[in-house]
Amino acid sequence: MYTRSFEENTFGQFLFGKYSGIIKEYNKRIKLNPQDEEAFFWRAVYKRKSGDKIGANEDFNKKIEINPNDVLAIKFRSYTKMDIGDNAGAMEDHNKIIEIDPKDTSALVNRAITKMALGDYKGAVEDCNRAIEIDSRKETAYVNRAAAKLALGDYAAVIEDSNKAIELNPQNRTAYINKALALLKLGNYIGVIENCSIIIDLNPKFADGYFIRGNAYNKLDNKKYALKDFKKARNLGYKY
């Protein structure tokens, strides 16, 4: 009698997004071998995909307990900790990855994001600076440095970094948003409208684009278009 292999069972369920079935297969593996670090890692990945961030974090903990220097597992755990708001825990993981590999630009950018969540905007800028020194085409470093500089009120630098990110990826909505917010602070309302219109062209259901553009129209005393954008933002779920 033919018996389906573990790989066949999990791959078929993966194709149809049946993560609970894949998790059950890894449960069986772990029951047979409680030290199966690969099973803990992949069960964590699929728990995260299914929305069980707490369960994923526990499995990544187990994986790292078995193999403390597994950079990929530490990196995935840092993402999961960021998801659940454990910024202190995420920071520990970012630091560990950077200690192992000081040139890991993704870890530097992720640490910058976590620093912003903790209110350390200057520290975030420093980490993005380091990432850009290592890789001058690191798009996410420019985007997040712009976000940190926006919080610090350095609006000209926000525009410069956003322009660089857009040069690297013309589809980057966050770069346009950062730029639009900086232009709004500087009173360049036409520029805000132009940038938000690009965002809306990229994604017509992006509520923030309508809301920010509505603010610019309002500043220009174009109440008709401002109201239209505010209504659209509200209908798309924007929370005032």
Four-residue CA torsion sign, 50, 51, 55, 58: positive
User: Could you tell me the CATH number of the domain that includes residue 198?
Assistant: 1.25.40.10
Domain stop point among 77, 95, 121: 77
Give the type of residue at 209: G
Does 38 fall in a domain?
yes
Residue 227 lies in a domain: yes
Quick one: pLDDT at residue 17?
A: 57
Whether 6 shows a pLDDT value over 90: the answer reads: no
User: What pLDDT is stored for residue 131 in this prediction?
Assistant: 98
Structural domains in the chain (count) = 2
Cα–Cα distance for residue pair 48/171, rounded to 1 Å:
27
Q: What is the pLDDT of residues 34-50, one digit of tens each?
A: 999 999 999 999 999 99
**How far is the C-alpha of 155 from the C-alpha of 71, rounded, in Å?**
36
Which among 25, 58, 77 is the end of a domain?
Answer: 77
Question: How many residues make up the chain in this entry?
Answer: 240
pTM above 0.85, yes or no: yes
CA distances from 160 to 44, 110, 166, 171, 187 (A): 39, 21, 10, 17, 16
Distance CA 240, CA 237 (A): 9
DSSP secondary structure of 74-142? HHHHHHHHHHTT-HHHHHHHHHHHHHH-TT-HHHHHHHHHHHHHTT-HHHHHHHHHHHHHH-TT-HHHH
Which among 77, 95, 115 is the end of a domain? Answer: 77
pLDDT digits (tens, 9 = 90+) for 127-146: 999 999 999 999 999 999 99
> pLDDT, tens digit, for every residue of 152-169?
999 999 999 999 999 999
**65 within some domain:** yes
Question: What range does the domain containing 226 cover?
Answer: 168-240
